[in-house]
A and B are shown apart, each in its own frame.
Chain A
Amino acid sequence: MATSDSPNIKKLQVRRYPPEENPKKTYLTEERGLWAWMTTVDHKKIGWLYLSSIAFFFFVAGVLALLLRTELLTPSQSFITADTYNQLFTLHGAIMVFFFLVPSVPAALGNFILPLQLGCKDVAFPRVNLLSFYIYVAGAIIVLTAIFTGGVDTGWTFYTPYSSSAAGGNIMMMTFGVFVLGFSSILTGLNFIVTIHRMRSPGLTWNKLPLFLWGLYATSVIQILATPVLAITLLLLTMERLLGIGIFDPAIGGDPVLYQHFFWFYSHPAVYIMIVPGFGIISEIITTFSRKHIFGYWAIALSSLAIAFIGFLVWGHHMFVAGQSSLANMVFSFLTFLVGIPTGIKIFNWVATMYKGSIDLKTPMLYAMSFLFLFMIGGFTGIMLGALSVDIHLHDTYYVVAHFHYVMMGGMVFAFLGGLHYWWPKMTGKMYNEFWAKISLLILFIGFNLTFLPQFVMGSLGMPRRYFNYLEQFQGYHQLSTWGAYLLGVGFVIMAVYLFHSMRNGKQAKANPWGSRSLEWQASSPPPLHNFEHHTPVIIHGSYDYHKPMSEFQLGIPTSHNGHGEEETVTPEPGPAEEADK
């Protein structure tokens, strides 16, 4: 098939492979049954395993949030005790961060989409991929056991000395569970980096790499560099409780601020683990539904890496009032402002992509636009919190809570849901009900703002976070916030109903329902077990070249063996052969 003319130019004989519509054999129809699913090494099924697990934890932590908000309807005790309240907000935070936000986009959507966008059959290490899922499950079981054998009330940050000596409950088991969980995240990141480096299809050069993959790549780099530090921190904390090693505990000679340095060295980059892949999703959605080449491809790609890099240098902004030197405070404050630059670059490029595009307001696009709105509020309030004098006033108030939720829920969760609605037809082969999807998005959008906008106000008025009781003057804000939270709950219930309905009775999805040029849409919906069953895709255009005809995005060379062990000899079928120079 391949002949070499000169060392650099290789001529390939390629054929057009339009994706099969209504495929009979898909990854869902092969290798069926519970056992096959639990032992699968197929990245698509592992993506589903992750997706169902994170949906479960999102539900659990969401219910906890509703309980918290219900308790806060009245200034004094409403229906739970203060101790229970402390445990609930700790669990809400810890479960949302470690069990939902961190694995949500990379491990669930990323697992499914990454090999499809690269045009390979699977990730580089499929068994490691499955192992990482079971490490996640093991971590989850340990954490759930910890909850049922005493609970934890330290907040998701496990600050010493409270966590090392004072607090009751089963902190040791909890931190050990999160320690275990970290390895799942590391293995996913490792797998993705190797896959992106080594498994790209012919012609898929770095400057044609889809922006979702650039996002995942930057995320994976953070995962492998930051997560081990969390692991050692939590191991030290576990040992602190088990043996009293005294590195963090002032009672035995240790230093509690050192713990905060260690913890935030991971946990600040970790918020970029959560948001950067979301940026990738937004890039894909905006360009697909504007039917226009992405504006500033390299600016968006490199700003992801820039965020990953700067994200490692800003952890000190969590400790402005913890007794850091004022020089350190100034440096960390300055570096924190720097994060705004690559983030701003992204926002401007997305808006510029939409400018004069042919915008189609389908559900994923509406999610992306909500993301732009909410994430900008989250981002700007983050800059305000990065300013030293302002932070001293706002530190540990509801303002921080609102900022964090605007970034993580308004930004990350909306991007995740956008991605879920964008790739849903590919993952299930079914369409969801567009009308109910829009209704649910509207409810979520209103409910979200109703929940968290009042928190900015009461935070700036001095309402501290994590308090069980509060002054009566804050009751109005708290009640607004609680009603907003209920509305959010309603929105998610509607979403669950129409998504389940779509899985069972949804309309059959076309292979490329959105008319995207990206490679994952050139596999059938849902894809076959080995993604591109009969060929290796060959890429000649970037995945955002909407000015090129669709036929030029469906090229491939016949594969000699499609994954079933024995070598088969394949003669290229007669058909319209095309030649591609690389």
Chain B
Amino acid sequence: MAQPSLSVKKEKPEHHHFVDADQQFEASKMGVWIFLVTEILFFGGLFAAYIVYRAWYPELFIAASDELDVFWGAVNTVVLISSSLTVAMAIRSVQLNQIKGLIINLWITISLAGVFMVIKYFEYAEKIGKGVLPGAHYTYDGVDHEKANIFFSIYYMMTGLHGIHVLVGISLMLWLVWKAKKGHFSSKYYNPVEGTGLYWHLVDIIWIFLFPLLYLID
């Protein structure tokens, strides 16, 4: 653990309270992983609510999920998976010290995230237009089930919270582009890029669970 850091020549850390750059890299990576664990538990509460209500009202979930547009959901899935690829390419670029490649890949990822949000916006708008609102404000009568409002509460909470995470990811990547342009990153120091990449993969994975759970029930 700390022993390797005693050997004679080591890269200097970015922040002085670390012994060397290796220790800093390992620490920040571990910090991000633990943060991702908390994120999973955060969404876990919603998944638990989903499981409970689906176990109680399986026919509701089948009926209500018909209201969701599988085509656009599938498009969004492809968009997010592609963005995971480009963020991985961004990390690869910075590892090879290709800052230009890093910036280009970040921009592609940001645009894909933007496409995701635009599609999500049209999906929401269509539903709100016909009265599919969460809980007490639900006025749509196309789903023949008295608890249809609960399904859409869960739908809005899950996708809404996920959407907020996408927005946070977009701002993080804009910040990375700004830092990269100022020459902050190199193959020797790219902890924030690595961390944001891990976060972005998590956002992607959560969507990969949300898509079948909400859209693809038969």
Contacts and interface: CB of A to CB of B under 8 A. Distances in A.
B41 A198 contact: no
A120 B156 CA distance: 45
A254 B53 CA distance: 9
A229 B23 contact: no
Interface stretch (B4-12, B70-78, B94-102, B104-112): B4-12
A12 B34 contact: no
Contact of A246 (B19, B23, B149): B149
Given A236-B157, A247-B153, A563-B16, A197 B44 contact: no
Contact of B134 (A191, A224, A243): A243
A567 B10 CA distance: 12
Interface in A216-264: 224-229, 231-233, 235-236, 239-240, 243-247, 252-255, 258, 262
Given A198-B27, A228-B45, A233-B45, A253 B2 contact: no
B132 to A, nearest CB: 13
Interface in A150-202: 186, 190-191, 193-195, 197-202
A333 B121 CA distance: 48
Nearest to B8: A2
B37 interface: yes
Contacts of B153: 243, 245-247
B136 A243 contact: yes
B137 interface: yes
Contacts of B46: 232, 236
Contacts of B43: 232
A228 B45 CA distance: 8
How many A residues are at the interface, by size bracket? Answer: 35 or more
A108 to B, nearest CB: 20
Contact of A258 (B8, B42, B49, B136): B49
B136 A252 contact: yes
Please classify the interface of chain B as helix (H, G, I), strand (E, B), loop, or mixed, using the class held by over half of its residues: helix
A136 B37 CA distance: 21
Interface in A537-582: 557, 561, 563-565, 567, 582
Contact of A190 (B8, B38, B49, B137): B38
Interface string B1-36: 111001110001001111100010011101100110
Contact of A124 (B27, B38, B45): B27
A161 B52 CA distance: 18
Interface string A194-214: 110111111010000000000
B34 A232 contact: no
A199 B23 contact: yes
Contacts of A240: 135
B17 A121 contact: yes
B119 interface: no
Contact of B45 (A125, A236, A530): A236
Given A236-B49, A262-B45, A200 B150 contact: no
B55 to A, nearest CB: 12
A126 B16 CA distance: 11
B42 A231 contact: yes
Contacts of B218: none
Nearest to B147: A253
Contacts of A232: 42-46
B17 to A, nearest CB: 4
B123 interface: no
A126 B45 contact: no
A254 B150 contact: yes
Interface in A405-427: none
Which of B8, B41, B149, B154 gathers most chain A CB within 10 Å?
Answer: B41
Given A126-B17, A198-B23, A253-B149, A247 B49 contact: yes
A564 B52 contact: no
Contacts of B147: 253
A34 interface: no
A12 B5 CA distance: 12
A10 interface: yes
Given A2-B6, A10-B6, A202-B3, A246 B44 contact: no
A124 B31 contact: yes
Given A236-B45, A244-B137, A564-B16, A190 B2 contact: no
Nearest to A10: B3
A582 B3 contact: yes
A1 B2 contact: no
A224 B146 contact: no
B48 interface: yes
B35 to A, nearest CB: 6
Given A233-B45, A239-B157, 5 more contacts: A202-B2, A202-B6, A229-B44, A254-B150, A262-B45
